[in-house]
C-alpha cells in the first residue's frame, strides 16, 4: 500500500522535496493536463488516473529504492509546484536519470534548477552514483538549459521509450567527478 505522507527528503533555500500527499494529486493532474507541459510528454494530456498512478509509482520507488520523481513544494507556503527526482528510465535501465516536471506557471523562476541541483547532490553524495543522465525532446530548450546549468554535457541522441511511447531525445550526462569539480569551484568563489 502506498504511503501518501509527504515525507521530506530534501530542502533547498526555497523548496521542499518530498513524497506526494493525496492533497497534491489534483495539482499534479492539472500540471499533467496543461498543454504547455504535456506537449513535452506524449503530446496528450494525462488522465487523472494515469497522473495519480505516476505519483503512486514515485512514492513506491522512494519506499523501495530511495529514488523517485517526487513532489516539489515551495517551502514558504507549501504550494505544490511540480516533481523532480531520480529514477531508472525504461530506455536506460542501468542508468539513473535526473528529471523534473513543473507546472507552467512556475517556469522561469529557477525552481527546476534548484530542485535538480539538490537531487544531483543526493545522487552523488549519498548514493555515490558515478554519473547521472537526463533526457528530453530535442526541441525542449528549457529542459536543456536546466541540464546545462547543472553542468551536464550533451552525450548523444537516442530513441526513448516511455510507457510504450517512442520519441527522439537528446541525452545529457553529468559525472560525479565533473559535479565535484564544479562544487569545488563554486565554493572557491564564495
Residues 1-37: tens digit of each pLDDT = 789 999 999 999 999 999 999 999 999 999 999 988 8
Sign of the dihedral through C-alpha 142, 111, 89, 154: positive
What is the C-alpha to C-alpha distance for residues 113 and 143, in angstroms, rounded to an integer? 9
The predicted structure's pLDDT at residue 15: 98
Which CATH architecture does the domain made up of 8-189 adopt?
A: 3-Layer(aba) Sandwich (3.40)
Give yes or no for residue 188 having a pLDDT over 80.
no
Mean pLDDT of 73-77: 97
Instruction: Report how far residue 176's alpha carbon sits from residue 147's, in angstroms, rounded to the nearest whole number.
Output: 15
Report helix angle 111-121 to 141-149, nearest 10: 50
Q: What is the pLDDT of residue 90?
A: 86
**pLDDT for 163 beyond 80:** no
Q: What is the pLDDT of residue 190?
A: 64
Beta bridge partners of 21: 5
Q: What's the pLDDT score for residue 182?
A: 85
Lowest mean pLDDT among 4-13, 55-64, 157-166: 157-166
Using 50, 70 and 90 to split pLDDT, how confident is the model at 42? low
Instruction: Tell me what the pLDDT averaged over the chain comes to.
Output: 93
CB 42 within 8 A of CB 48: no
Q: What angle do CA 84, 86, 94 make, to 5 degrees?
A: 150
CA–CA gap between residue 52 and residue 60 (Å, rounded)? 12
Q: Is 20 in a helix, a strand, or coil?
A: coil
Look up the pTM and report it: 0.93
Amino acid at each position: 500500500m502506498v504511503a501518501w505522507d509527504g515525507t521530506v527528503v530534501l530542502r533547498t533555500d526555497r523548496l521542499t522535496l518530498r513524497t506526494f500527499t493525496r492533497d497534491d494529486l489534483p495539482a499534479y493532474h492539472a500540471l499533467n493536463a496543461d498543454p504547455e507541459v504535456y506537449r513535452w510528454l506524449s503530446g496528450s494530456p494525462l488522465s487523472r488516473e494515469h497522473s495519480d498512478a505516476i505519483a503512486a509509482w514515485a512514492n513506491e520507488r522512494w519506499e523501495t529504492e530511495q529514488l523517485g520523481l517526487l513532489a516539489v513544494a515551495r517551502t514558504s507556503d507549501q504550494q505544490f509546484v511540480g516533481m523532480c527526482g531520480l529514477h531508472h528510465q525504461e530506455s536506460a535501465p542501468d542508468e539513473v536519470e535526473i528529471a523534473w516536471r513543473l507546472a507552467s506557471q512556475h517556469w522561469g523562476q529557477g525552481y527546476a534548477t534548484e530542485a535538480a541541483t539538490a537531487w544531483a547532490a543526493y545522487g552523488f553524495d549519498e548514493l555515490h552514483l558515478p554519473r547521472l543522465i537526463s533526457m528530453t525532446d530535442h526541441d525542449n530548450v528549457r529542459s536543456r538549459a536546466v541540464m546545462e546549468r547543472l553542468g551536464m554535457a550533451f552525450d548523444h541522441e537516442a530513441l526513448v521509450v516511455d510507457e510504450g511511447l517512442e520519441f527522439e531525445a537528446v541525452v545529457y550526462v553529468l559525472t560525479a567527478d565533473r559535479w565535484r569539480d564544479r562544487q569545488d569551484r563554486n565554493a572557491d568563489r564564495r
